[in-house]
Amino acid sequence: MTHSVQAAPENPSLVVRDLKVHFGGGKAVFSRDRPVVHAVDGVSFSVPGGRTFGIVGESGSGKTTTALAIMRLVPITAGSVTLNGEEISAYEGRELRQSRRNYQIVFQDPYSSLDPRKRAAQIVREPLDLMNIGNPRERDERVSELFTQVGLRPEQKALFPHQFSGGQRQRLGLARALSTRPGLIVCDEPVSALDVAIQAQILNLMARLQADLGLTYLFISHDLGVVQHICDEVAVMYLGQIVEQADRVALFSEPKHPYTKALLAAVPSVHATERDRRNRVRLAGDPPSPINLPKGCRFASRCPMAEERCRQSSPPLEDRGGGHKVACFLA
């Protein structure tokens, strides 16, 4: 079976600079200051066109908030987001609505993100209608083309979301995201709600679509196995900041930050030796509160290697060679 190659309008490059998303603040009742939650606190990275950039971390690390801020679905406190040389973080109103055709999102739960009252064809066609792309006949043709691209049958266009399996619903979500021919697709845990066998099918489909259409992916996940399978470069987030960033091979074969080592050690492996188990980095306690952040390294209270300087000052994210960046004095 051959796939028609259809290049994206431009090969986009995503550049995120010092992105901050803080919630709360200001005055509350009785003139008390409301606490500020530092959900994302100075995140910077760039993604070359046609590549996949992964962000991993435990719950509360800020990875999903980073994705939502890039999509302009939560307010940005500071910093900039640039796509294809256009600063989309500066757009408002009509300009923002028009720019949305260039970047789309696939959500975690393929059931709750689809309107249960609409038929599959309506769901996929909706972005075309909202953005007034093409005439009615062209929109219908585009829907048929998308169903073929994501591996759904023509007769399934008349079905409702509840009549699809989980994997088919995520194919439907992908078709909807692709409808406006975006260059960038943000994937927020797109396979975490699926069985392992179905996960592999969806990841292979995403890889094929990327090759055919020149797509750029920002891939958010807590599943390191999935990230290792699909991503070219990976950033590890902890409490609103990137603590390590490297290409996929370097990050998984030579992790440098103690938090990354602990994350990788927590993944069950049939190949782990007794020595591996004994030398495992184990995490103790919970992350600090994003309201009352510590003075120094945010990981110091849980790090088995932490020294006094770690508690006093925050280590910068620095390149330690070959593009492998780490925020750790002891790496």
Residues 202 and 286 grouped into a single domain: no
Q: How far apart are CA 11 and CA 34, in angstroms?
A: 43
Of 203, 231, 259, which one is at a domain's C-terminal end? 231
Residue 244 CB-half CA count within 13 A? 25
Burial class (CB in 10 A: 0-12, 13-18, 19+), 38: buried
* Residue 206, in any domain of the structure: yes
Q: Can you tell me the distance from the alpha carbon of 205 to that of 32, in angstroms, rounded to the nearest whole number?
A: 52
HEC profile of 176-230: HHHCCCCCEEEEECCCCCCCHHHHHHHHHHHHHHHHHHCCEEEEEECCHHHHHHH
Could you tell me the CATH number of the domain that includes residue 137?
A: 3.40.50.300
The domain boundary residue, chosen from 231, 264, 297: 231
Identify the bridge partners of residue 277 per DSSP, sorted by sequence position: none
Query: Is 144 found in the same domain as 52?
Result: yes
My answer on whether 6 and 120 are in the same domain is yes
Number of domain units in the chain: 2
Q: Are residues 157 and 207 in the same domain?
A: yes
- Final residue in a domain of this structure, among 201, 231, 261: 231
Give one word for 230, left, alpha or beta, with left for phi > 0 and alpha for psi -120 to 50.
alpha
Q: Specify the pLDDT at position 153.
A: 95
Q: Which residues form the domain of 326?
A: 248-331
CA 292 – CA 237 distance, rounded (Å): 18
**Same domain, residue pair 64 and 210:** yes
Contact indicator for 41, 294 with CB cutoff of 8 Å = no
Residue 241 lies in a domain: no
Q: Is residue 81 part of a domain?
A: no
308 within domain boundaries: yes
Q: pLDDT at position 5, please?
A: 36
- Residue 60 belongs to some domain of the structure: yes
Helix (H, G, I), strand (E, B) or coil at 79: strand
Asked if the structure places residue 252 within a domain, the reply is yes
- The answer on 120 and 57 residing in a single domain is yes
| 153, burial (CB in 10 Å: exposed 0-12, middle 13-18, buried 19+) | exposed
Which residues does residue 233 pair with via DSSP β-bridges, in sequence order? 53, 247
Q: Is the Cα dihedral 166, 169, 175, 177 positive or negative?
A: negative
What are 30's two structure tokens? 């009785």
Query: pLDDT value at position 316?
Result: 93
Does residue 236 form part of some domain? no
- Residues 288 and 322 placed together within one structural domain of the fold: yes
209 and 297 assigned to the same domain: no
Q: Which mean pLDDT values do the consecutive 10-residue runs of the chain (331 residues) have?
A: 40 86 74 82 94 93 94 95 93 92 88 88 94 92 96 94 92 94 93 87 94 94 90 96 95 94 76 54 77 90 89 92 93 80
* List of residues 6+ apart from 44 with CB closer than 8 A: 16, 17, 18, 19, 79, 242, 317
The pLDDT score that the predictor gives to residue 26 is 65
Same domain, residue pair 56 and 187: yes
Q: Against a cut of 0.85, is the pTM above it?
A: yes
Q: How many CB atoms lie within 10 A of CB 110?
A: 25
Is the CA virtual torsion 276, 279, 285, 289 positive or negative?
negative
The answer to whether 42 and 20 have CB atoms below 8 angstroms apart is yes
Q: How many residues are listed for the chain in this entry?
A: 331
pLDDT of 9: 41
Query: Which single residue is written with the structure tokens 């307010």?
Result: 75
3 state DSSP class of 294: coil
Are both 262 and 222 inside the same structural domain? Answer: no
Task: Please check whether residues 1 and 105 belong to one and the same domain.
Answer: yes
* 55 and 134 together in one domain: yes
Residue 30 belongs to some domain of the structure: no
How high is the pLDDT of residue 196?
A: 87
